[in-house]
Structure 1
Amino acid sequence: MKVIERLTIFPLYKKRFAPLASVLLLIPLLSGCGSSKSSSTVSIPTPAAAPTVSAAGPSTTEANTSKPNPATPTADPDPVALQLQSLTLEEKIGQMLLVGINGTTLDAGAKRMITEDKVGGIILYSNNIDNLQGMVKLVNAMKKSNAANPAPLFMSVDQEGGKVSRMPAEYATIPSNAKVGLRNDANAARTMGTLLAREVRSAGFNMNFAPVLDINSNPKNPVIGDRSFGNSADTVVKLGIAEMKGIESESVVPVVKHFPGHGATSVDSHLELPVVNKTRDQLAGLEWLPFQAAIKENADAVMVAHILFPNLDPDRPASLSRTIIGDLLREEMGYKGVVITDDLTMGAIMKHFDLGQAALDSVNAGSDILLVAHEYDNEKRVREAILQNVKNGKLKESRIDESVYRILALKHKYGLTDNPVPVPDLTVLNKDVKAWRSTIAK
């Protein structure tokens, strides 16, 4: 994760967190509460070393409770840690839920998820979007419903280009990754990222589930295909990272997907649980390369797939596996950012696992955000499972704190707000898309 500049981030939340700003002005200097953040990363403890959250940020050691020495330099208060301290357990768990809604308007179930369960994010699909005006009205309505909650919503969408395009017909279309991959031009891929981000940002979204970093290594793959930049690791690394940076440059959170690689599957995980029997060495030599490159380039968020890799974990798919998320992604690859599951209501999970237990397993494995894309009742089951397991002591609240710190830090980094957006004039944006698209066709 990139550096979170405290002095520039905190003013972005001044309006929402006026009481918190007052706390910062009044809080006494603390000594021995942990060192200040480094100049290169935000250090987030792994589940094996749960933090004690203080005003100076997560620390693996207890704070020194002796009286401060005025002459001793102290760490600046960490606004993210202070915000985390202010949340109830229920609000923390809400931040870990990113949910889908029914229909094209803010119905009762959607409103309850926002106002009562205080979910941290929303995802819209094509069945939630009829036209530009209706989409913007819906996005603004959800943000307005969230106004009294402790943090802005992640407003997310799958806008990849090609067949996975959620934006309504008023937007000029963007071609598939495979078509861009034929050019093998990093500048073209970066421009693609900026255009995708400009599209979603114009409608009030702040998170895009793109780029796809899967390598299309199985020609019979029913779910990836032209969503991939190609069948070469070099091509996917080159173009995928360029697209990620293009999305970032427009202040939209990119979510790279689908770790540890969906390209070799022969089953659609929306319908059933795919099994990939590749060895660790085979995966390391191909599928993992784009994700390792993204981690090196400080990827903000990674989506983990519902795929069983028996040679890594014979019992749990990647999205529920401590071996794959905690040991491989976080420990070995050194990833410090936000981990998001693929939709837990997909057939790969619902047909083989209890939804509540799957959510609990995923949190224990190291996931931060649980994507529950369909049905209010499913969101309630997931929320209740996490809440009850914390209350009965089977899941430590410190483990929840680790994830929520990462989530809040990402929201601070991108300066998220719940401010409404006007219905955009797409003249310039569509012109730019068409001009870029003409270069791809050559």
Structure 2
Amino acid sequence: MSSALYRDCARLFMVGFPGPRIDDDFAALMKEGLFGAILFKRNVGTAQETAALCREIKSRAGRPFTLAVDQEGGRVARLRGAPFTTLPTLRELGLRGDLGVAERVGRLLAHELRAVGFDWNFAPVLDVDTNPANPVIGDRSFSRDPDEVGRLGVAMARGLEAGGVASCGKHFPGHGDTTTDSHLTLPRLPHDLERLHRVELVPFRAFAQAGLASLMTAHVLFDALDAQVPATMSPRVLQGLLRQELGFDGVLVSDDLEMKAIAEHYSVEEAAVQGTLAGVDLFLVCHNADVQRGAIEALVRAVESGRVPRSRIDEAHRRLARLEARFTRGPEDRVATLGDTEHQALAEGLASGVSGKDPTEVMLAARPV
């Protein structure tokens, strides 16, 4: 197994690790070429502790190394408690329908993430809130109106990217109408193409047209698109629909391959190979080091055998390099800039429904990113 090819394939992976310190497995994989790491609640502590961990990871990597997190607002926020700003759900932002506010929230999120060392936020959610029984999306969505989801999602993503943090719209091509959670099982949507184009795909089309940094795939079966494999593994969905029809040319990242929607129906190794062929540029494997290494090795073997063309690896590298050059920073410490009164004013204004110009706009725009 070529060490150079191993590094090239490892670059298509972003992993999680068990706790608040770098363990041996993660340290070894980092040396072997990972693109980056995703941090969860299990990894973060106080703002100072989180910033110190991010600095240590980037310092030990000794090269550009991208750190990501899920910081949507509402119930999905890994960084909580003072000095981080408590933000409302996307549903609450959606009820305001104010593009300026959505963009300022994106800038605020970017400022706080950059302050502790993150480069990439897996937000905003672009799923449309069409199913009250949905167990996983719900108030994480801006609206039941697809156009509103697109407008507000693009605005928040633009705010994030103006603040120096890559955005990631999720979960393509739409998880909002499922009745099951892909963390636990493999959902299936029976909608016809007309319905998908009228509802689910509207926000993703807007995101693609806006030229934003990245999208995340959904581990969902869409009968009208590909009834055989979930979107994460489907060339029809990712190459045909997203790349060719919608024209998206940013980074395409998978949801976690260890979620049961994948792991109970396919091996993670096979999902990584099929996902690469389908058009995924970066895979999240968030928990088990043996699974992470096995997925990388499976991709190496697939390239060696000719099943996965080397050109597909090179294409992913080009997109990842573009995102890395724009957003990935070295070790930094800006924790002292957290907790500004202007941030709290924005949060309090949102909580109370106060409209009008917010004082953070000028402050955030003026700050270096």
TM-score (norm 1): 0.77
CA RMSD of aligned residues (A): 1.3
Letter in 1 for 2:55: N
Query: How do 1:29-428 and structure 2 match up within 5 A?
Result: 88-115=4-31, 117-147=32-62, 149=63, 152-170=64-82, 171-414=84-327, 416-428=328-340
Cα displacement (A) at 1:169: 1.8
Larger radius of gyration: 1
CA distances 1:1-36 after superposition (whole Å, capped 9, x unpaired): xxxxxxxxxxxxxxxxxxxxxxxxxxxxxxxxxxxx
Q: CA deviation at 1:425?
A: 4.0
Task: Tell me the amino acid that sits aligned with residue 292 of structure 1.
Answer: R
* Correspondence for 2:365: none
Q: Structure 1 regions of 5+ residues with no counterpart?
A: 1-86
Q: Structure 2 CA distance, aligned partners of 1:224 and 1:275?
A: 15
Matched residues in 1 for 2:265 and 2:339: separation?
A: 48
Aligned equivalents of 2:22, 2:344: Cα separation in 1: 33
Counterpart residue number, 1:29? none
Superposed CA offset, 1:375-415 (max 9, x none): 1111101100001111122222121101111111221133x
Equivalent residue letter for 2:19: G
Q: Provide the rounded CA distance (Å) in 1 between the counterparts of 2:48 and 2:285.
A: 26
Paired residues of 1:129 and 1:168 also in contact (CA < 8 A): no
Aligned residue for 1:303, secondary structure, equals strand
Structure 1 segments, 4+ long, off by >4 Å, are: none
The 2-side partners of 1:182 and 1:394 are apart by: 48
TM-score (norm 2): 0.92
- Per-residue CA distance 1:90-121 (angstroms, 9 max, x = gap): 22212210111110111111111111x22001
Report the alpha carbon displacement of residue 88 of structure 1 after superposing the two structures with TM: 3.0
Q: 1 CA distance for matches of 2:255 and 2:7?
A: 22
Whether 1:438 and 2:351 are equivalent positions in the alignment is no
Identify the residue that residue 52 of structure 1 maps to in structure 2. none
For residue 387 of structure 1, what is the amino acid of its counterpart? Answer: V
Within 2, Cα distance between the matches of 1:193 and 1:352? Answer: 36
Q: What is the letter of the counterpart of residue 343 of structure 1? A: D
Unaligned runs of 5+ in 2: 354-369
Q: Find the aligned partners of 2:194 and 2:347 in 1 and give their Cα distance.
A: 38
CA distance in 1, matches of 2:245, 2:37: 31
User: Secondary structure of the equivalent of 1:339?
Assistant: strand
Residues 343-399 of structure 1 show CA distances to partners (whole Å, capped at 9, x for unaligned) of 000010001111101110000001100111111111101100001111122222121
Measured against aligned partners, the alpha-carbon deviations of 1:283-309 in whole angstroms (never above 9, x if no partner) come to 000110011001111021010110001
Tell me, in whole angstroms, the C-alpha distance in 2 between the residues paired with 1:393 and 1:237: 39
CA contact (8 A) 2:80 2:86 kept: no
Q: How many residues align?
A: 349
> Residues 93 and 102 of structure 2 are in contact (CA less than 8 Å); yes or no, is this contact kept in structure 1?
yes
Deviations 1:184-207 (A, max 9, x none): 111111111111111111100010
Q: Deviations over 1:220-274 (max 9, x none)?
A: 0000010001101122122111101100110100011111011001101111111
The percentage of aligned residue pairs carrying the same residue is 37
Whether contact under 8 Å (1:136, 1:204) holds in the other structure is yes
Q: Could you say which residue in structure 2 is the equivalent of 1:61?
A: none
SS in structure 1 opposite 2:72?
coil
